């Protein structure tokens, strides 16, 4: 069985589980945990590429391999958010799924334009989050994610005398975004930490 068939099968199974569920659970916390996970991977990848660590390309291959399944999971989260009546989360998770597909395409083809466009859209989502009164931490998180994409695009483009400096920059924003998303997920799930 191919990976694509497996992913499609998992997606249909997850959608059936959502349909069968009597108790609609908002997927925000799970989505934040996954955003934290993938941005931490990107952050670590950027730092390891900058230090020219030998294991960086193994991590690169791993990140590339998980982008498709995670993209599908975020699309399932978007469907779940629609069923919960959370339009902003549905749009955001749907876009995160598309952004992960775009990152996979951009990393395999070396297209910096995909990264720049996705970065711009994350900035727009950050502004919308701020305007609709969502927690300011969410708007900051979306801006950090936007900066990851923008600086990955700058790195792929090869700007400057030392393009590897951009891996460090997107690595730092990846680690910050990962920490912030994980904090928000823990804060929302436990309701014991402030989210402002």
The chain-wide mean pLDDT, for the chain, equals: 86
Q: Where are the alpha helices (DSSP H) in the chain?
A: 3-20, 28-50, 56-84, 87-109, 112-131, 136-157, 164-190
> For 76-103, what is the mean pLDDT?
92
pTM for this prediction: 0.84
Q: What percent of the chain has pLDDT over 70?
A: 87
| Residue-wise pLDDT tens digits, 113-159 | 989 999 999 999 999 999 999 999 999 999 999 999 999 999 988 88
Please, which residues have CB within 8 angstroms of residue 79's CB and are 6 or more apart in sequence?
A: 15, 18, 90
Q: Which of 14-18, 23-27, 56-60 has the lowest mean pLDDT?
A: 14-18
Structure tokens at 123: 């900035």
Eight-class DSSP state of 79: H
Q: Apex CA 172: angle with CA 148 and CA 41, to 5°?
A: 70
């Amino acid at each position: 069985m191919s990976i694509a068939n497996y992913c499609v099968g998992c997606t249909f199974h997850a959608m059936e589980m959502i349909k069968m569920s009597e108790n609609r659970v908002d997927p925000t916390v799970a989505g934040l945990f996954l955003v934290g996970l993938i941005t931490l991977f990107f952050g670590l990848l950027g730092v390891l590429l900058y230090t020219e660590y030998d294991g960086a390309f193994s991590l690169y291959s791993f990140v590339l391999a998980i982008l498709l399944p995670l993209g599908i999971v975020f699309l399932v989260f978007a469907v779940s958010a629609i069923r919960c009546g959370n339009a902003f989360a549905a749009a955001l998770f749907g876009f995160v799924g598309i952004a992960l597909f775009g990152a996979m395409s951009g990393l395999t083809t070396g297209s910096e334009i995909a990264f720049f466009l996705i970065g711009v859209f994350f900035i727009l989502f950050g502004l919308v989050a701020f305007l609709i009164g969502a927690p300011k931490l969410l708007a900051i998180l979306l801006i950090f994610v936007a900066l990851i994409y923008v600086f990955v695009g700058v790195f792929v483009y090869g700007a400057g005398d030392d393009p590897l400096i951009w891996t460090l920059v997107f690595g730092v924003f990846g680690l910050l975004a990962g920490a912030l998303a994980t904090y928000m997920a823990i804060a929302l799930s436990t309701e014991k930490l402030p989210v402002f």
